Amino acid sequence: MQDMTWNRVLITGAAGKIGTTLRAGLAGRHPALRLLDRRPVEGLRPGEEALVADLRDRAALARAVEGGDAMVHLAGAPDPFDFEEMFRANVRGLYDLFEAARAAGVKRIVFASTNHTYGMYPVSHGMAPTDPVRPDSFYGVAKVFGENLLRYYFDKHGIESVSLRIGSFEPRPTQQRHLSTWFSPRDAVELVARSLKQPGVGAAIVFGMSNNTRIRIARPNWEAVGFKPQDDAETWRDRMASEGVDVDGELEWKRHGGIYEGKDY
């Protein structure tokens, strides 16, 4: 089977950190990129078009997916302190967007999920996509909803999807935890590119991390989309140590979620 090439790909959250990286990395791989964000997207390239809209605007979401073949959904509320905002963007808005995509005939969705869907597992547990979810926050709960919603859309409507359980997307690792969870910009672009192009993915769950020597994922499921990560946080070990990071000491994080340990939200 040959790789898929979509005529128009929608990227939501296109003005964000990951979205900006994907714009550059996916340029020229598909004829057209439609960029959606609630902030203006600057410096449009050939083949790009931009829409300014919020996930709460159903009419705007319908316009965004119109004529689209595939979608990369990055937009959402990251702050678990505000449950109402989390619900409006990451649950209600997610449903409205996916339902608009279904009605418009979108065939492939790549969804930015998170390591917080399994954040309550101890780091000693080598994760696999078949493990039961154990979210560590309302944010993680909402992402579990997104993964399950995509499973439903595949089973009921045949819309294929890849949910990417993203670790730590950063230009370079700067914390002890990043030696396990780092997801480099180069690898992020290639994983999304493969998630768009790989045929027959069903409703896959794939872990979004680089090929880190200290990765604590037993089965990242990269083979589901034909992805081979190139980067390893270990190459930054000496630099991190020189900056005062305790690279080989006792683990500073006990559970996969890391930042939400001991916090009630």
**Model pLDDT, residue 82:** 79
Annotated catalytic residue: which of 118, 139, 153, 260?
139
Q: Is 88 helix (H, G, I), strand (E, B) or coil?
A: helix
Query: Does residue 261 register a pLDDT over 70?
Result: no
What value does the mean pLDDT take over residues 184-200? 98
What value does the mean pLDDT take over residues 79-90? 83
Widest distance between CA atoms in the chain:
54
What value does the mean pLDDT take over residues 180-206? 98
In tens, the pLDDT along 90-138 reads 999 999 999 999 999 999 999 999 999 999 999 999 999 999 999 999 9
Query: Does residue 249 register a pLDDT over 80?
Result: yes
**Model pLDDT, residue 185:** 98
**Model pLDDT, residue 264:** 54
Q: Which residue has the tokens 């005529």?
A: 7
Query: Does residue 204 register a pLDDT over 60?
Result: yes
Query: Does residue 2 register a pLDDT over 80?
Result: no
What value does the mean pLDDT take over residues 10-37? 96
What value does the mean pLDDT take over residues 208-223? 98
**What band does 260 get if pLDDT is binned at 50, 70 and 90?**
low
**What band does 4 get if pLDDT is binned at 50, 70 and 90?**
confident
**Model pLDDT, residue 262:** 53
**Model pLDDT, residue 80:** 65
- Indicate the pairing of strand 160-166 with strand 48-52: unpaired
**Model pLDDT, residue 155:** 98
**Model pLDDT, residue 231:** 98
Cα dihedral angle (223, 162, 130, 221), rounded to 10 degrees? 20
Other Cβ atoms closer than 10 A to 243:
10
**Model pLDDT, residue 5:** 85
Query: Does residue 146 register a pLDDT over 70?
Result: yes
- The order of strands in the sheet holding 8-12 is 48-52, 32-37, 8-12, 70-73, 108-114, 160-166, 203-208
Q: Is 139 a catalytic site residue? A: yes
What value does the mean pLDDT take over residues 238-262? 89
